Structure 1
Amino acid sequence: MAKRPTAAEPTRRTLTFPAVHPSDRTPPSALLSSVADLARSILACKSGRFACNRRNAAESIRNVANLLIFLEEVVVPTPPPPPRAPGSVALGLSELHLELRKLRCLLEDCTRDGARAWMLVKSERVAGQFRSSARAMATALDVLPMEDVGVPVEAREIAGLFVRHARKVRFEVDVDDRTALSDLMSILSRFECGIAPERSALQRVLDYVGVRSWTDCHKEIRFLDAELGFEFSSVEKREVEILSSLMGLMCYCRCVLFKVVDIESNRQSNEEHAIKVLDHINPDDFRCPISLELMVDPVTTVTGHTYDRASIVKWFRAGNFTCPKTGEMLASTELVPNAAIRRLIEQYCSENGIPFAESARKNRDITRTVLAGSVAAEGAMKMLASYLASRLEVGTGVERNRAAYEIRLLAKTSIFNRSCLVEAGAIPPLLKLLTSRDSSIQENAIAALLNLSKHSKSKAIIVKNGGLALVVKVLKYGHKVEARQHAAATLFYLASIEEYRKLIGEIPETITVLVEMVKNGTSRGKKNALVAVFGLLMHHGNHRRVLASGAVPVLVQQLKSSDREDFVIDCLAVLSSIAEKSEGTSVILRASALYIIMGILNSSTSRVGREHCVTLLLALCINGGAEVISNLVKSSSLMQSLYSLLSEGTSRASKKASALIRLLQDFSERRSCGSLPAIFQQEQSVHAW
């Protein structure tokens, strides 16, 4: 029976999905066939590019080749004869199956693109795993009773040779691996001391592990970032430091060593492949078997089934240690992120206009990037930031474009990176690039500024260097749609400062251009412009400008036509802000929005969306008076939706719903008595909506 997992058990893996024993119900003949197939798949790994442990990998593959000769001679009678030792045939084959799966995973790790530097650092551990695998397979063969299976004498001799050799071979770390690892550690030590490593030393290490292009380096960075996304225990602090150091090294190498960015063709081929894959996949496979909702953070258990992380974690916390789909007891509660399924879900959502909510884990990942993670990573990033800032200042056009692109990437996901780049003085030269006639340079510069504008110190630097006018100019006249979209998002972050909201609003036609983008832009453009308008509305002087731009009819039309729930929610949020003032309420009512908002409240499955609806309706009632309330009272379904929010909504939504219910009930009671509150006895100027 599988061991019951406990919360204290380590769940950290080397790299790939952990191997598990085959089911006890699998017949020996099927086990034998599966073991032979595993051995053949291991032989196919011979042609792979090994980052390290090349000699140990070659030795293991040769051993499996000899094992396969033996396996192909084994015959399990059907039905099998009574065993001399209970279950010994099944036990021996089951252990072989487990160890061959472990070995295949290990070989895949050693040849995996993106994990090459990490595997070099773990070369001692990997060598030990090769050694352990060989010894375990020898033990499994010892357990297998030759008398109970049909094995010729020659095949038995091969098995004996395999066992003796497996226990004799040492599986030590290659001398070349030790040298390369020593070089790598020397480079990290130089970063710790604030000394730039020699290019030849960097190139030597990268060549050894097989990182030969910008894309190879980028894959390393993405893998290391994903590994850092796992939750580590305190005893694994050293691993976090090493991963962070390697990531700093690879970021430095990607920018300094490689002059050609070759990711575009790679991205295009990946997207084309994803589209082809989607044609053959049932979208129901993207739903969590527990919650039946689209998975946000798909993870795979040791049984091979995939669930949404939040659902399966809740299952475990309830004391369940079985697979929800099969009922099988889990040998471990380890959850391995299923990046392939996640990418397909994102692609499916993108193709079908479905909002894809980011997982809470990703948000935590961003939070952890406040610090570099290690002294070496800190040193590497500071040197790299200075290098990129200097390229922006004195480089050629190509070099400036490349530097802007690298800053765009570095600042996107790391708070620490943003801090280093801002301190290095990257913002002023990026602002100068906004006037470039080269559309690529302009787009990379504004995208870099967008990511840097999230840093607390950057906003003042942008404004001090005349950045507001430059960003607005890109918003209005940017060479590419993407540049204009980035400009809109940048204005949103700049508008987080009260003083800058006022300055942005005073720049002629800024709000009008944003509203036009909401009306006719791309999906991303609409959303960026919408949040920018929302930010500007936080300054009272911009309300009048937003109303004058014709924003309300545009927003109401978007509520009618958009099938993207996240965009509808954003529109409701902006309308709620507009409705806070009586002038805004009047315009919203004239745009015939009241019944549309009520319909969304009754039909929406989003708690946030329903809360915005209630907030908006409450503001319309307060500012619109008796005529608005009388129309709400006539709706038979409205009260049901409001009462559901009392129990299902957030505390804020519950308070808003309660206030609106009291307002409607008070109106009904006073109307039946022929007496209305003073607030409703005043003359109302709005008669149509």
Structure 2
Amino acid sequence: MGQEEEDPVGVEEVKEQEQEEEEIGTSSWNQRKQTQIVQLSEKLIHGDLESQIQAARDIRKLVRKSSSSSSPSSSSSVKTRSKLAAAGVIQPLVFMLVSPNMDAREASLLALLNLAVRNERNKVKIVTAGAIPPLVELLKIQNSSIRELATAAILTLSAAAPNKHTIVASGAAPLLVQVLSSGSVQGKVDAVTALHNLSTCPENSTAILDAKAVFPLINLLKECKKYSKFAEKTTALLEILSNSEEGQIAISNSDGGILTLVETVEDGSLVSTEHAVGALLSLCQSCRDKYRKLILNEGAIPGLLRLTVEGTAEARERAHTLLDLLRDSPQEKRLASSVLERIVYDIAARVDGADKAAETAKRLLQDMVQRSMEHSLSCIQQRAASCTPSDIPSS
């Protein structure tokens, strides 16, 4: 009875005790990790080559363990990367990238890659330490495994805005384009993503690519799902290339180049359709007589009409403009009105259902007629404004 009458230990007291034990365990674990980090740094800075290689491998393991561990320290993977950088491991790892020993290069490359992932400050530190020139050299070697690890490293580093100009200036882009043609599937994905990262910097967009990138990009777009993130990046690069004469020629000369863009307009995501119609529009605006028929021959009209309804605001505007360029030609007959009405009705039925299809189709056709009239009026006004008094017939 006496024992039953004694007050039990309070729940809050138990929780406090468990928290104290957890904090003690975490503190002890952190102390061991800090000691390990210091030891690894010492080996990298002062050890012989074998010790440096092993230290680089251990750094990779430590970061990966911190990222995947289910211990109380699992949320400290970012802190682990920061502590390793603070301990001075980045510079000696960068020095190892130029070692004649291929094992040293690979070990340092993997360590740096793991230090850079999900840590913006480390990305910048690695580039500041001089990593880009040796990484560019690794992109040139015959060892495909090392070359693709270097591609992955440049991809990761290119995600940090301060690094983009340095990477472009290093001449990495043409080598990444080579990976598009000869790399593994993962290597090609990494190369496209790295090039896309670099292109998002306004001063870099026209400088990173030349027409040689068109053929592998078209082939990759053919093979991937048109609504995928990969397709979005690929079409973004193709749109950039479509702004140069060399890129336009390469797209039209590629086997199925224009058809692949038309298919992306039909089946792509909101982002990829916007880029694809942008590329087609660039072609048609650059030389309407040359590209208009090529685009029409690939059956672009239905996809463009649907895009005027379902696309982003920018895609809808581009689709409207391209449709005007494709339809309005004195040299060729306009698309037969009955065919146009059928296409518009089918699109309206998919968008609003059969019950409202007729109403929606009528609105779309009216909008198209209105835009056509506005375009024609604009052309008349421009011609009138350009006339000189001598051009005007006398009465």
Provide the TM-score with structure 1 as the length reference.
0.40
Deviations 1:590-622 (A, max 9, x none): 3220122213545x4xx52x6414422223304
AA aligned to 1:635 is: E
Aligned to 1:69: none
Alignment partner of 1:625 is 2:332? no
**Alpha-carbon distance between aligned partners in 2 of 1:200 and 1:418, rounded to the nearest angstrom:** 18
Q: 1:171 aligns with which of 17, 37, 62?
A: 17
Q: CA deviation at 1:488?
A: 2.5
Alignment partner of 1:468 is 2:173? yes
**Alpha-carbon distance between aligned partners in 2 of 1:622 and 1:679, rounded to the nearest angstrom:** 18
**Runs of 5+ in structure 1 lacking a partner?**
1-153, 191-195, 202-211, 228-245, 252-376, 646-657, 682-689
Aligned to 2:263: 557
Deviations 1:341-370 (A, max 9, x none): xxxxxxxxxxxxxxxxxxxxxxxxxxxxxx
**Alpha-carbon distance between aligned partners in 2 of 1:470 and 1:464, rounded to the nearest angstrom:** 13
Alignment partner of 1:519 is 2:365? no
Distance 1:668 1:158, change over 3 A: farther
**Alpha-carbon distance between aligned partners in 1 of 2:72 and 2:336, rounded to the nearest angstrom:** 59
Aligned to 2:193: 489
Please tell me whether the aligned partners of residues 152 and 187 of structure 2 are also in contact (alpha carbons under 8 angstroms).
yes
Deviations 1:458-487 (A, max 9, x none): 444334444233222222222x12112222
**Alpha-carbon distance between aligned partners in 1 of 2:4 and 2:244, rounded to the nearest angstrom:** 81
Aligned to 2:52: none
Q: 1:389 aligns with which of 91, 94, 100?
A: 94
Identity %: 19
Deviations 1:366-403 (A, max 9, x none): xxxxxxxxxxx488358343243133233843443343
Alignment partner of 1:218 is 2:67? yes
Aligned to 2:294: 587
**Count of paired positions:** 341
Please tell me whether the aligned partners of residues 388 and 403 of structure 1 are also in contact (alpha carbons under 8 angstroms).
yes
Q: CA deviation at 1:500?
A: 6.6
AA aligned to 1:218 is: S
Alignment partner of 1:616 is 2:319? yes
Q: CA deviation at 1:422?
A: 0.9
**Alpha-carbon distance between aligned partners in 2 of 1:481 and 1:397, rounded to the nearest angstrom:** 24
**Runs of 5+ in structure 2 lacking a partner?**
43-60, 352-362, 384-395
Aligned to 1:420: 125
Alignment partner of 1:455 is 2:156? no
1 or 2 for the larger relative contact order (CA 8 Å, sep ≥6)? 1
Residue correspondence of structure 1 range 359-398 to structure 2 within 5 A:
377=82, 380=85, 383-394=88-99, 396-398=101-103
Deviations 1:46-74 (A, max 9, x none): xxxxxxxxxxxxxxxxxxxxxxxxxxxxx
**Alpha-carbon distance between aligned partners in 2 of 1:612 and 1:458, rounded to the nearest angstrom:** 31
**Alpha-carbon distance between aligned partners in 2 of 1:669 and 1:531, rounded to the nearest angstrom:** 30
Deviations 1:604-658 (A, max 9, x none): 4xx52x641442222330465256687599538859999xx9xxxxxxxxxxxx9
AA aligned to 1:512 is: F
Aligned to 2:303: 596
Distance 1:186 1:161, change over 3 A: same
**Alpha-carbon distance between aligned partners in 2 of 1:406 and 1:524, rounded to the nearest angstrom:** 28
Please tell me whether the aligned partners of residues 485 and 529 of structure 1 are also in contact (alpha carbons under 8 angstroms).
no
**Alpha-carbon distance between aligned partners in 2 of 1:222 and 1:678, rounded to the nearest angstrom:** 74
Residue correspondence of structure 1 range 271-350 to structure 2 within 5 A:
none
Distance 1:165 1:573, change over 3 A: same
Query: Highest CA radius of gyration, 1 or 2?
Result: 1
Q: CA deviation at 1:502?
A: 5.1
AA aligned to 2:180 is: L
Deviations 1:249-268 (A, max 9, x none): 422xxxxxxxxxxxxxxxxx
**Alpha-carbon distance between aligned partners in 1 of 2:196 and 2:41, rounded to the nearest angstrom:** 44
**Alpha-carbon distance between aligned partners in 2 of 1:408 and 1:171, rounded to the nearest angstrom:** 40
